[in-house]
């Protein structure tokens, strides 16, 4: 198997290790569903890119028990689920279908009783898929706020701090909607460090911070003046500070587990260099290049995380595609073959059809031969165009899971 085929195989291994149905099965073996009281039923809310396979696995094991189920996922992963209502909505940009789904979730939980058991199946993407703006804020205003934050290169924790402050359901809002029914959450993590407050913006946990902290972040990034008036007004209102109803939250899968599966599949000598590849994509590329230069002999270097891109141009791309482009442009002559792959385990990198990119020592030459200017394309944040010219886009299609991004650098032997 050549280096490119090996890299693709390892990426698939990472996605398989995060298979939502298998992860939920393992969790249910150790933490079975709590049973409803007499007269009660299950109310299942599945939210995120992995919502369909998670709900399928759960419903298949209910064996005639009473339940209602609502599944909210992205368009690419949507398909019918026996016994459930499936609603598809926009990601990464929220849309009106997501707003309708949020109202549907609230409606299903509105008459829950203490005898019922609410089961929340949560995976990455829930923040965008289930927009529920607070009173006075429109979906367009909230989307504009997210656009400003993403353009400023904020990380997922900072983005979700603001999202929670502007949402009825995030930051524990789902618990308030479900009260007085007890809530159990089975959560597939798409964030580094597995902070439950950040995954899908913390539907079943306390918020990551206060509205005052959200205001401070926005002002510190120089964004406050550009915010819609309704958003500024909402962030200056006092939040409901009554204690959240309790919930049991169980982490069932993560990026680290996928990295360990890649390492095992790669065999002896494979190394997980970092499971926290975060921050600006240019800094991440520099770390990968440094690791390549330091590697003696052939090797398999594995990384995982979620970088950020500062938007300065009008091109199309995503953090994985830009990371791959930066690595190939910055990699010195190593005197041996190498391949670098960076991909989102959900199969989609930014608003594109690609999961990421897979590059090598002649990617830049292929871009130029196809009529592209790599430096100009990078400056315009047009990594999708650059990698398309080289034939180096990583296309996987929707995977039905999401545990952030994985990277692998394969280094051949020195001639």
Instruction: Note whether residue 10 is domain-resident.
Output: no
Q: Are residues 216 and 314 in the same domain?
A: no
Model pTM above 0.95: no
| Spatial distance between the Cα atoms of 101 and 36, rounded to a whole number of angstroms | 25
- Single out the residue in 211, 233, 253 at which a domain terminates: 253
Closest CA to 411 of 277, 287, 266, 282: 266
Supply 202's token pair. 């913390």
Paired sense of beta strands 85-89 and 67-74, if any: parallel
Quick: pLDDT tens for 266-310.
999 999 999 999 999 999 999 999 999 999 889 999 999 999 998
Shared domain for 131 and 221, answered yes or no, is: yes
Sheet containing 247-253: order of strands: 85-89, 67-74, 42-47, 117-122, 183-188, 247-253
**414: pLDDT strictly greater than 80:** no
Range of the domain at 331: 256-411
Residue 127 has pLDDT above 70, yes or no: yes
CATH of the domain at 62: 3.40.50.10180
Same-domain pairing of 126 and 174: yes
pLDDT tens digit string along 335-345?
A: 999 999 999 99
pLDDT given at position 1: 65
> Which CATH number does the domain housing residue 364 bear?
3.40.1480.10
Nearest alpha carbon to residue 379 among 324, 328, 318, 311: 311
Long-range CB contacts (< 8 A, 24+ apart) of 291-299? 291/409, 292/331, 292/334, 292/338, 292/409, 292/411, 293/332, 293/334, 295/411, 297/411, 297/413, 297/414, 298/269, 298/336, 298/411, 298/412, 298/413, 299/269, 299/270, 299/271, 299/409, 299/410, 299/411
Is the same domain home to 316 and 246?
no
pLDDT at 345: 94
CB 183 within 8 A of CB 204: yes
Asked if residue 170 belongs to a domain, the reply is yes
Q: Do residue 308 and residue 159 come from a single domain? A: no
**Region for residue 300 given its phi and psi (left: phi exceeds 0; alpha: psi -120 to 50; beta: otherwise):** beta
Give me the pLDDT at residue 78, please. Answer: 96
Query: Would you say residue 9 lies in a domain?
Result: no
pLDDT over threshold 80, residue 415 = no
Q: Are residues 199 and 260 in the same domain?
A: no
Angle at CA 406, nearest 5°, toward 403 and 408?
A: 160
Structure tokens at 369: 């031969």
Q: Which two tokens stand for residue 65?
A: 């028990």
Considering the domain boundaries, does residue 2 fall inside one? no
Determine, yes or no, domain membership for 186: yes
Could you give the 3-state DSSP secondary structure of residue 342? strand
Are 337 and 414 a contacting pair, CB within 8 Å?
no
Domain final position from 233, 253, 273: 253
- Whether residue 341 is found in the same domain as residue 202: no
Does the pLDDT value for residue 218 go beyond 90? yes
Counting the structural domains of the chain, the total is: 2
Are both 245 and 353 inside the same structural domain?
no
Give yes or no: residues 103 and 211 share one domain.
Answer: yes
Domain boundary among 234, 253, 272: 253
The three-class DSSP label of residue 148 is helix
Q: Evaluate the omega torsion of the peptide bond into residue 173 and state whether it is cis, within 30 degrees of 0.
A: no
**DSSP assigned state of 12:** H
Measured CA to CA, the distance from residue 227 to residue 242 in angstroms comes to: 28
Residues 26 and 47 in one domain: yes
User: Is residue 92 domain-shared with residue 240, that is, in the same domain?
Assistant: yes
User: Of all helices (H) and strands (E), which one includes residue 300?
Assistant: strand 299-308
Same domain membership, residue 247 and residue 219: yes
């Amino acid at each position: 198997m050549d280096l490119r085929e090996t890299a693709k195989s390892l990426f698939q291994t990472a996605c398989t290790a995060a298979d939502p149905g298998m992860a939920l099965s393992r969790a249910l073996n150790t933490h079975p569903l709590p049973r409803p009281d007499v007269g009660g039923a299950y109310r299942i809310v599945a939210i995120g890119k992995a919502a369909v396979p998670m709900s399928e696995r759960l419903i298949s094991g209910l064996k005639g028990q009473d339940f209602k189920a609502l599944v909210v996922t992205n368009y690419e992963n949507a398909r019918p689920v026996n016994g459930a209502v499936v609603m598809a909505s926009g990601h990464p940009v929220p849309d009106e279908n997501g707003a309708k789904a949020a109202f549907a979730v609230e409606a299903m939980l509105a008459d829950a009783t203490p005898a019922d058991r609410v089961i929340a199946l949560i995976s990455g993407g829930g923040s965008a898929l289930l927009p529920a703006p607070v009173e006075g804020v429109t979906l367009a205003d909230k989307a504009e706020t997210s656009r400003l934050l993403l353009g400023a290169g904020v990380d997922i924790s900072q983005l979700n701090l603001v999202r929670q402050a502007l949402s009825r359901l995030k930051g524990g809002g789902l618990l308030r909607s479900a009260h007085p029914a007890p809530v159990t959450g089975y959560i597939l993590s798409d964030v580094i460090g597995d902070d439950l407050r950040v995954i899908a913006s913390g539907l079943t946990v306390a918020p990551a911070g206060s509205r005052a902290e959200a205001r401070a972040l926005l002002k510190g990034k120089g964004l406050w003046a550009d915010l819609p008036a309704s958003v500024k007004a909402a962030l200056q209102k006092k939040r409901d500070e009554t204690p959240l109803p309790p919930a049991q939250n169980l982490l069932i899968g993560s990026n680290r587990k996928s990295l360990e599966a890649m390492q095992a599949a790669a065999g002896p000598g494979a190394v997980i260099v970092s499971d926290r590849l975060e921050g600006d994509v240019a800094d991440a590329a520099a770390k990968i290049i440094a690791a390549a230069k330091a590697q003696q002999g052939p090797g398999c270097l594995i990384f995982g995380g979620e970088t950020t891109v500062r938007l300065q141009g009008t091109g199309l791309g995503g953090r994985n595609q830009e990371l791959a482009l930066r690595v190939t442009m910055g990699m010195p002559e190593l005197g041996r073959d190498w391949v670098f792959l960076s991909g989102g385990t959900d199969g989609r990198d930014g608003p594109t059809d690609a999961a990421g990119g897979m590059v090598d020592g002649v990617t830049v030459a292929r871009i130029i031969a196809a009529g592209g200017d790599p430096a100009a394309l990078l400056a315009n944040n047009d990594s999708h165009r650059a990698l398309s010219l080289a034939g180096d886009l990583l296309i996987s299609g929707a995977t039905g899971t999401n545990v952030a991004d994985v990277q692998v650098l394969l280094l051949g032997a020195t001639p």
